[in-house]
Structure 1
Amino acid sequence: MLGRGERRQRAQDALDELRKALRLALGAAQATRQAAQTTKDQLEFEQAVMRLGLAKARLDPEITELRGRPALAKTWDKVIAERDELYARWHPEGPERLRRLVAAAAPGAAGSPWHDWLSKVGEDTGGVAPAMWRVGTAVVEEAPREDEFPVAVPLLDRAHLRVNSAPDNRSVVDSLVETLLLRLMSYFRPGLVKVHLWDIGHLTGSLPNLQPLTSAGLLTVHDPTRLDDLLAELAGHIRRVHAKAMREGETSLRSVCVTKGERIEPWRVVVLFGNGERLPDEQQRELQRVARTGIDAGVSLICVDVPLSANSPLETIAFTDSRHATTSMTGPGVRFRPDDAPDGSLASRAAAAIAADLVARRGKPRTFDDLLPEELGKLSSKEELRAPVGFADGVPVEVVIGDATPHALIAGPSGSGKTNFLYAMLGGLAARYPPSELELYLLDFKEGVSFAGLAPGRKDPSWLPQARLVGVNVNTDREFGLALLRFLTEELARRAEAAKRQEVTKLAELREAEPEGHWPRIVAVIDEFQALFGGRDRITQQATVLLEDVARRGRSQGIHLVLASQDIAGIEAFWGKPAVFEQCTLRIAMPKAKRVLSETNNAAFSLPRWHAVINHDSGVPHGNQVAHIPDASAKGTFDALQARLWAAGNSLAPRLFDGAHQPLLAESPDFTDPPGPLLGQIIDVECRAATMALDAVPGRNLAVIGTATADALSIMESITFSLARKHSPGSVDFSIWCAVPALQERVTRLAKILTAIGHAVDHRTDESIAKLAPASGERPRYILFFAVDAAHQWLERKEPPAMRSGLDDLRALLKNGPANHVHTFGWWRGVGRLKDTLGFGGTDDIGAWVALDVQGAELNTLAAGQVIDWAPRPKRAIYFDKSTHSSPDVIIPFDTVESE
């Protein structure tokens, strides 16, 4: 058993061992900590050296002091050794390799010294920009001068550029930016790069050597207090370009240009000179949005002392003193120096040469022929219609009609060039799309013949193959406009039914699902369309409903409206009904046009002659494109194109409706094989003849009512000639009666014509008219009774012994004749006189009537109680058949004299 002293000794020994172990552990921990601290100090020292660069680090007092510490001295030696090793590998090939890379990425004016390209005009590059643009030279710190290499930055279609200046080096920064802009302008054909300049500190005077570019519109200097306007303009441009790219099936303007092989939109370089302070929040957010989305739309920013951190490619040049800088392309260890800029006078002359070349190019007259493609009729309208209508800086400006911009609204006062624009648009479309892809329905409510030449005429037998209907001088025939809208609605229903059958929703899908069908895009052009809504009547009500329907549903079925007007301010029919105008997203404003663009868009007020604002964004300012419209209506322009198109293939002639001329009976398609008596031409799209069925049923007689002698005679003669043509000679009997001496010469001529054809004619002009034979069923008999009321003096006489008058016999003939194939066509010179002839209840024996110069209120009793909305006008009539009509048709009496 151990004693107390021995136990104490053992405890003391164990405690000593523990203390020894703890001392070893603490020593090891301290050594580890010191090693970690040394490593941390070395890394921080190395980072500080790398951040400053070796050249500056050698002169930095703090670095010099730290280098006195042994551990950090080793780090300094290590950095020097690594630098020497890297430089040893870099020196033989590095600078030359960079020179080759820049030369390949920045060819020609993009990378050569300015002596090689200044004052030379660039060429068309097919819409593709170099990958890089030279901005200066650089050298690795402490390397010899011969190791300098060029520095280039990406810009157009690739990145933005940020420049941070140093105190008192604004002139160096200006020279850097100016030289870079001259490179851009000199590389491309003038007009492909446009510069916008904004300087927060200068109203004028920024980059003065580039000011000659302003005369050609290549440089726009913006008010320093109106940055909001510039950013809004850029945002609108970006939206418009993105929409154009999407229509082409691409995601960026660059890809569209590569696909087409040409630049369809100029690049826009926006130079912003700030003061180093952040812009106001709203402007900063808008600038960030422009930076984020602009590259894909061909917009590049050069921001000098404007804080910018966009989620898009952005290169930086940060000046460290008045002449030297670092760049994000080369890193902090490389000293960058901008290239020496050309003398100010040389730069100014170079800018003037670029501007002069563009002015000279514009000076070349852009004609209607420049709107036409090399090959005619080669495009498909499956997705949309597009055609150039004019030029901006020599670049074609297109109108696009499709699902995105389904309908167009055009406005311009008299003499502003509206009709010329329509011809330019129609010519551009017709030259690109064959009749199988495009059908045109053209209507002009003016007193003129703007579209008459598009249909065959006596002097020119050609027509526009795409035209299916041409209506001119329709200023008093609003019914024709209503008929066109009805036709479009019916066609819309036909296409909608086909789409439903194929389970598709758009025309492009329908054409894929049913390729054997005939599904061209339809464009209906209605000039002075507001005339259609000029009255507070049934036509206005119906036209409003139909137009809204076509405007709303037409986009998906390929039916498009082009509505033109001198001034749309007075269209009361659409007050409170904006559906039509909201669908007209394509807006065209001629000089001084009002209200066609948005309320805040006054671009049309300052337009020169022969120009137009083309806007695919419902008229908002950012959608404006100003185009010069070439002369499209002079001899040798549109007419020459029409002759070429007409001669190229067989197409059906369009139907022509000319409100200023009576149609010839002999030229009516229905006159070839008349279905019945022809009364006149119905005012509708088909230009059909009005006729009536002559069944053997009561009431199949017709009354012509009114005092318009010439029109009444035309209608009576049309009935006679068409019935004579319908029946073979000798198969029917005609009775031609007239009690008016002044008409007897013409009526006698009519009887002679029937006799010459071979028909039997009972011709009476005296009291024998009152001796009427009863209806007989042996063979058809047609009674043409001219001015019935003039014979009342004879018809009212009662002959003994029966005391029966000729009027009684006429009433019996009207009542019983149709059942026995005896039909009467009588002309009464007033509604009251007709009623006197028919007597009480006799109106049922007149199943159809044609009214001439008779007010609608007088006709209500003849129309089964309907309210007749009719105001008489020359050479027009209304036709109502109780058995077929719900409302009267407006007809035009045929010209029968010329037909003879």
Structure 2
Amino acid sequence: MDAVAGPKARTNRAAALHRRAAATAIAAAGILDDTRPVPADQHRQYALADRLRAAAAALAPGWAGAALETLAVTTPAGEGPPPFVRVGTAAPLDDARFPALVPLLGTGHLTVDADARDPRVAGLLRAVLLRLLAAAPAGALLVRAVDAAGDTLAPFTALADAGLLPPPAVDVAGLRAVLTEAEQWVAPGSSGRRRHDRTLLLVIAALPELTGPTDLARVEALAEQGRAAGLHLVVAGWPPAGPYAGRAPLPQATALAIRTAYALLGDPPGGSFAGPGADPPGGLNSPVFVEADPPAELVDAVCRRLAAQVEAGSRLALTDLLPSSDEELWTAGSVDGLSTTVGDAGGRPVPLGFTELTPHWLVSGRSGAGRSTFLTTALLGLAARYGPDELALHLVDLGPGESFVEFLQTERDRSWIPQVRGAAMAADREYVLDLFDELAAEVRRREEAGRRAGGQRFAELRQHQVMPRIVSVLDNLPLLFAERDRLAAEAASRLDALARGGRAYGVHLVLAGEGDLGLGSRTDRDSVLGQFPVRVALPGGGAVLEPTNDSAAGLPVGSAIVNTAGGLGGPRGATRGHERMVRFPDPQEHADTVEELRHRLWSARPEGATPPVVFAGYARPLLRNDPRHRAALAGQAPGPAALLGRAVDVHRST
């Protein structure tokens, strides 16, 4: 048809195509005008960029806003969490650029319309998080994260043990746990005013696949309530893609929209970059090139520095928790109970002990969390305050470790802690059953003595009998119940009876291990757990607290939650008289102090005192038929310490 068309027809068609192209160009120009800045006088642009660079340097100095390549690991932090943070570089002209800042901590939140599966967004999140953490004093900013992409925040791993950034949640269950913690942080409790001396930042790098509308509503509620309580959000992938793409912008958030070569920055909460009457309205009237991914080695170095500063800032010496060297030993009496300092909370010593109201402890923490360290610290404090007539210790480790070696003799050092009556390393279950039987027999003996004396209680009996309080410590307790067989059932039954009967007669238990210690989750008064109001949760040990109490989440090594109400929780940030987060020292870092104390205690031992017998699991003594062991339980001076099983001389680690 075209081949036979005349010149006029071809001209008309060309004109129509030209008009169509012109219309398309005009429409495209309109769209671009909505997304790109309108050309302006270049001299004004240069002058404005100069002013904005100066303002950015004042608003976000150092880590908060300077170019990362100009910063060193040693660049100091500011006096508090930075109120502004750099998210990129605005470029109204190629040679007229300035830092693009958003108000965040103390003001609002930040959203990005793509999530961390986009490498540019992942790099941006790492850069923003690095800036915020490095700009704040160590420990002033806590981070909780959700990352369905998996490894966005992997360079920040060094912060986990310091409690600043636990491993991110990766699924819906983890998301909901993180949201619950954030909701506890903002729970009402002080007329809506900020209640925290620290700031919590919730980073959502990528929402899990099964995130539902209820979860999204919780995120929105946190954004609405968080600012007043010191909670701020950085959410990538908002609004979510798919069926929730039409969801409203996050309340009080600055929005960043990722485009092919640049990004568009929306207005901050409660304000406008452009000002009233600006054309186009809303947002920064300039393309923004988002922050590049920071070098992994810089992130790691900064994180290690922060972790070291957190640890050093709260590090205690063992001498801080013990009686001073010029104080007289063994001046405390145990008639009304035992008490020692187990740690420091905000510069104040935290005492913990054994009374009829707080008779037994549960101590839980993952491997390497400092469980043995905590137990050793507490026991040394007790041994320094209460003499052998006031305190008797029985120490058992069911695991292969050497939890209590600092209390025992070695070939090189024949001193020992005089309060220790018996110890077992790698103890088998039969040993523990026999020990439970002997402790129960001692409870019955004291009960009968009280009956004969006309119904006297423990405190009255002590007026005319040597009757120390007994503390029996069992570490790695889950091994006792691991097989769930007849022996495990017998152990559970005897433990239950001993916990109930011992509290009134000065026989106390400390059960330690990982997870829920094999004791289950019942916490009512009728369960064995109801007999253990004191709960100590080390890192990874939150299972001994109530399920709704997540105060142990993200604990740094060297710290613990000490709860004296059976693990009962409460709103995060609110004052809890029954719960403290404490820091405690590592005795291995103070070996000279431990050795000096052991020698002082050993030199002060009663005349005729003999060292504790140490048993190994493969050579169990027959405690049931040993009169010397019964004498030790009763606090009487035993005869020569002969081993009924094979004695093991445990060597202290150096």
TM score, norm. by length of structure 1: 0.39
- The structure whose RCO (Cα within 8 Å, separation 6+) is larger is 2
TM score, norm. by length of structure 2: 0.50
Larger radius of gyration: 1
Relative to total residues, which structure has the larger helix share, 1 or 2? 1
